[in-house]
Amino acid sequence: MAGYLVRRTLWLGVVLFLVALITFVLMHAVPGGPWDREKTLAPAIVANLNQRYGLDDPLWQQFVDYVTRSLRGDLGVSYIYQDRPVAEIISDSFPTTAALGLLALVFALVVGLTLGVVSSMRPNSALDYVSVLFATIGASVPNFVVGILLVVIFAVKLGWLPTGGWGDPKEAVLPAFTLGLLPAAYLARITRASMLEVLRQDYVRLAWAKGLPERTVMVRHAFRNALIPVLTVAGPLAATLVTGSFIVETVFSVPGIGRLFVQAVFQRDYGLIMGTVLFYAFLVATANFIVDMLYAAVDPRIRYR
């Protein structure tokens, strides 16, 4: 177990290093730099700025500097946000992204698991069809389309909810639903599939034969075991929540990291791009790591060596 943990952590380091390298190369291959404005700056000023931010060093040197500094937790400064440290910008906007993500996750878990279990209890009933249809539609319609259709219905036509913003609980309803819909649909599909598989097992048949009430059979004997395959999608789902966040945040003007990244790409803010990409990669990798650990905790048959 300890060996496994060490290897996983080392691998995480390797992945983050490669992600940093790829991003760095791509970023500097983008035509244009952070000083491209509508009004061209004097060459002397540009040279000055480049020197100040170390942009006149050879590229490999810039990369080595970046990596050594980021190991100390210094992610550099943002060029567009007046020299604010990138680490500070990220830690300022992360709570918003995290809150939105958690709301979406809770929504997805409650709706997805409930629908999955309910439809597996009565396969091929009308209720089952409705929930399978919901899951299929939810899994295939892109989140910005969902978000915009919701805005058209609930904000423009009915006027019940605001079109965007962040702070008021009312403003969180549409973004959280939009972000949570895809995970909810995936969870519903996989839970239903997994429940149907488990319900055919001998131990469930035995539970029925013992005359246990439906509730006990479903919850204690079936659902618990059905959760194991459900966990396998938890990793990819975390990634969906993360990547979904920058579209949903853009649609609903939520001031989180996702919107920050999109703006940073537009403005060639090197420091901010690197910081957000690494942060996202770290989040996704950590989520996968936690999922693998949970996996071992839920299923005693799995042991990591």
Partner 1 sequence: MLQLIRGFATARRGAAAQARDTDGIERPPRSSSLWSDAFRRLLKNRLAVSGLVFIITVSAVAILAPLIAPYDPTLQDYSIVQQGPSWGHPFGTDALGRDQLSRVIYGARTSLAVGVFAGALALSIAIAVAALAAIGGRLGDTVAMRFTDVIYAFPELLFIILLAAVMGSSLTSLFFAIGLVAWPDSARIIRAQMLSLQEREFVAAAEVLGASKKRIVFQHMLPNTVGPLIVVTTFGIPRAILAEATLSFLGIGIKPPTPSWGSMVQEGYAAVLATPALVLFPALAIALVMMAFTFLGDGLRDALDPRTR
Binding site for partner 1 (CB under 8 A): 14-15, 18-19, 22-23, 26-27, 29-31, 123-124, 136-137, 139-142, 144-145, 148-149, 151-152, 156-157, 163, 186, 189-190, 192-194, 196-197, 200, 229, 232-233, 236, 239, 242-243, 246-247, 250-251, 261-262, 265-266, 273, 277, 280-281, 284-285, 288
Residue 51 CB, shortest distance to partner 1, in Å, is: 25
CA-closest candidate to residue 93, choices 264, 239, 235: 264
Report the distance separating Cα 218 and Cα 212, nearest Å.
10
Nearer to partner 1, 19 or 100 (CB): 19
Nearer to partner 1, 52 or 94 (CB): 94
Spell out the alpha helix ranges (H) of the chain. Answer: 2-29, 43-52, 59-71, 86-121, 126-140, 143-150, 169-199, 202-209, 214-216, 224-232, 234-251, 257-267, 270-298
Residue 132 CB, shortest distance to partner 1, in Å, is: 10
SS3 144: helix
Q: Which tokens is 143 given?
A: 């989140």
Measured distance between the N- and C-terminal CA atoms of the chain, rounded to whole angstroms: 5
Nearer to partner 1, 121 or 233 (CB): 233
Residues in CB range of 105: below 8 A, 6 or more apart: 180, 183, 241
Nearer to partner 1, 72 or 101 (CB): 101
Residue 190 CB, shortest distance to partner 1, in Å, is: 5
Cross-strand bridge partners of residue 77: 85
Q: Which tokens is 213 given?
A: 């009430």
Residue 12 CB, shortest distance to partner 1, in Å, is: 9
Nearer to partner 1, 157 or 305 (CB): 157
Nearer to partner 1, 11 or 91 (CB): 11
Nearer to partner 1, 37 or 72 (CB): 37
Residue 23 CB, shortest distance to partner 1, in Å, is: 6
Burial of 115 (C-beta count, 10 Å sphere; 0-12/13-18/19+): buried
Residue 291 CB, shortest distance to partner 1, in Å, is: 11
Residues in CB range of 214: below 8 A, 6 or more apart: 121
Whether the CA torsion 57, 63, 65, 70 is positive or negative: it is positive
Residue 43 CB, shortest distance to partner 1, in Å, is: 25
